[in-house]
Amino acid sequence: MTALFVGVDGGGTSTRCVVAQETGEIAGRGRAGGANALSVKDPSANVLAALTAALGGLDRSSVAGGVFGLAGAASAERVAGDAWRAAGLPGRPAVVPDVLVAFTSATACPDGTVLISGTGAVAARIHQWRVVRRADGLGWLLGDEGSGVWIGRRAVTAALTALDGRTAHTALTGRVAAVLGCAFSDVPGDERALAQAILSAVYARVAESGPAWLGTLAPVADDLARRGDPVAGEILDEAARRLGRTARAVCQAGGGDGPLVLAGSLLTEPTELARRVRAELGQHAQWVPARDGAAGAAALALRAALPPGEPRALQAHHRLIGMAAAPDGG
C-alpha cells in the first residue's frame, strides 16, 4: 500500500490541496474558497471542499500525514482539525504558518526569507524550515500593508475623495464605479449621488463576502498605474515601499542568507506592483518566485514522516515543486 501525504495551502482568497505519494508524485489536487478566518466566513467548509476534491477516489486509510499552511494562527488548528475529521482521515494534521509553505513551494533550502502580497501581506525569516521572525500579517484592519485588500481599500478611498474634491481627479473613480455596477455621469452635481452609490455597494459587498472582497479591486489600481494614472501610481508606489520595508525587517534580522521567495498573486504574476517591488528591493541575486504552496506543504509532510537527512525527502521535495534535484540541496 502506497502511503499518501496531504498538503494544504489556505489563503484569504483560495485554498489549494495536494495529495502526494512518497516519491513526490502528485496523486490528487483540489481547490476551493479562502481559509483565513480573519477575512472568510466559513474557512473550515472551504478547506474540507479542497481536501475532498484532492482525495477523490483515493484510499483515505493510506494517508500517513498532512501539513496545513494556514493564516490566522488562533483558529487555524480548529479549522484544520474540523476539515480533517470531516474528511474521515486518520490521525491529525500538523498546522504551520502559511508563510512557511509559500517558502517551501519555491526552494528546498532550509533557510531564507519570504515576502507575500496577495489578499494579505506578510514577510518571514525561515531557519531550518521553521519561521523564526515575522513582520506584518496583522490582518486587513490593522496591517497587511501593500496587500490586495490594502490596495483595493485605497483605490476606493481615492475614488471617493476625488468625487468630493479633496484629492485630484483619477480614472479610479470610473473604473471602481464600473466594477460595482454604479452609473457614472459627467453631469456636474452628480458626484454626491455617485459617491453614495459606490459607498453603499462597497459596504454591501464586504458584508456579503468579507473584507477579502476589497482585494478584487487591486487589479484595477494595478492596471491604471501601468497606464500612467498618477493617483493609482502613488498607491502602488506606497504599497511597494511598505512591502520593501516589511521584507527588509526580517531579512536583515536573520542575516540575509538564503533565497528571497516572492509569493502571493500580486508578486508572482506579471503585475505592475511586482515590478515596483523588485525595483524597491534592488538587485537580490537569489530571489525566486513561489510556486504551489500546497505542494510545499506536502513536501513538509513528507519530510516529517521520513528520517532526518533521508535523501528521499530532498528528492521528493524537488519533484513536488517541479525542480531538478540539485547536488547542494538548494
Averaged pLDDT, 6-35:
89
Phi/psi region, residue 220 (left: phi>0; alpha: psi -120 to 50; beta: rest), is: alpha
The predicted-structure confidence for 261-297, as pLDDT tens digits, reads as follows: 999 999 999 999 999 999 999 865 568 999 999 999 9
- Given a cut of 60, whether residue 186 has pLDDT beyond it is no
Structure confidence at residue 327 (pLDDT): 37
Domains, in order of start, for the chain: 1-105+291-330 (3.30.420.40), 111-290 (3.30.420.40)
Q: Where are the extended beta strands (E) located within the chain? A: 4-10, 14-21, 26-33, 63-70, 94-97, 112-117, 121-127, 130-136, 260-263, 287-289
Tell me what the pLDDT averaged over the chain comes to: 88
- Given a cut of 60, whether residue 321 has pLDDT beyond it is yes
- Given a cut of 80, whether residue 73 has pLDDT beyond it is no
CA atoms within 13 A of residue 67's CA, in its CB half-sphere = 25
Structure confidence at residue 324 (pLDDT): 40
Q: Judging by DSSP bridges, how do beta strands 4-10 and 63-70 pair with one another?
A: parallel
> Which of the four pLDDT bands, split at 50, 70 and 90, describes residue 328?
very low
- Given a cut of 60, whether residue 188 has pLDDT beyond it is no
> Which of the four pLDDT bands, split at 50, 70 and 90, describes residue 77?
confident
- Given a cut of 70, whether residue 60 has pLDDT beyond it is yes
Instruction: For residue 274, give the nearest of 233, 236, 224 by alpha carbon.
Output: 236
Which residue bears the cell 473613480? Answer: 173
Averaged pLDDT, 291-315:
89
> Which of the four pLDDT bands, split at 50, 70 and 90, describes residue 209?
confident
Structure confidence at residue 284 (pLDDT): 55
Structure confidence at residue 252 (pLDDT): 77
> Which of the four pLDDT bands, split at 50, 70 and 90, describes residue 74?
low
> Which of the four pLDDT bands, split at 50, 70 and 90, describes residue 150?
very high
Residues 6+ apart with CB under 8 A from 201: 180, 181, 182
Query: Regarding predicted confidence, which is higher, 299 or 44?
Result: 299
Structure confidence at residue 78 (pLDDT): 84
Q: Judging by DSSP bridges, how do beta strands 121-127 and 63-70 pair with one another?
A: unpaired
Averaged pLDDT, 173-186:
85
Residue type for 245, please? R
Residue 224 cell numbers, joined: 491604471
- Given a cut of 80, whether residue 247 has pLDDT beyond it is yes
Helices marked H in 265-324 — which ranges? 265-268, 272-281, 293-305, 311-320
